[in-house]
Amino acid sequence: MASVEVSLKEIMTAVEGALGAAVVDYSSGMALGTLGGGKDLDLTVAAAGNTDVIRNKVRTMEMLGLSSRIEDILITLGSQYHLMRLVTGRSGSGLFLYLVLDKARSNLAMARHQLKRVEDQLEV
């Protein structure tokens, strides 16, 4: 099992084109940890804002009566991918991994694979 800090380091080193990563509590919108980012990418603000995306999708699925779980949500911008993966399991319920990628330098399929691997090892 890996801590939040170790998990974020793993994401940033294992995922080509990673610009920033966070572990976020979507019940409060608070980032439990961030790594990367910069003046043009405030991960704390992005994490809080994307919490609304997660909450709204969960609520919509409930209203539709869908019993399947969300694996991940992708937002594609002109030069970036924003990938959110909900953490499953008893230690990560209510959390999501948030990853921002440089679209030109990243492989989306590999990023999704790495996030799943990190999710499986995350211990909060």
| Contact criterion met (CB below 8 Å) for 41 and 19 | yes
Alpha carbon distance 90, 123 (integer Å)? 9
pLDDT tens readout for residues 3-19: 899 899 999 999 999 99
Q: What is the mean pLDDT of residues 58-85?
A: 94
Q: What is the mean pLDDT of residues 21-36?
A: 93
The pLDDT score that the predictor gives to residue 124 is: 78
pTM summary value: 0.92
Q: For residue 69, give Cα distances in angstroms to 2, 9, 73.
A: 23, 27, 11
Confidence label for 82 from pLDDT (cuts 50, 70 and 90): very high
The pLDDT score that the predictor gives to residue 91 is: 61
Q: What is the mean pLDDT of residues 67-86?
A: 94
The pLDDT score that the predictor gives to residue 88 is: 83
The chain-wide mean pLDDT, for the chain, equals 92
Percent of the chain with pLDDT over 90: 77
| Contact criterion met (CB below 8 Å) for 25 and 94 | yes
Residue 20, pLDDT > 90, answer yes
- Nearest CA to 94 among 118, 70, 60, 65? 70
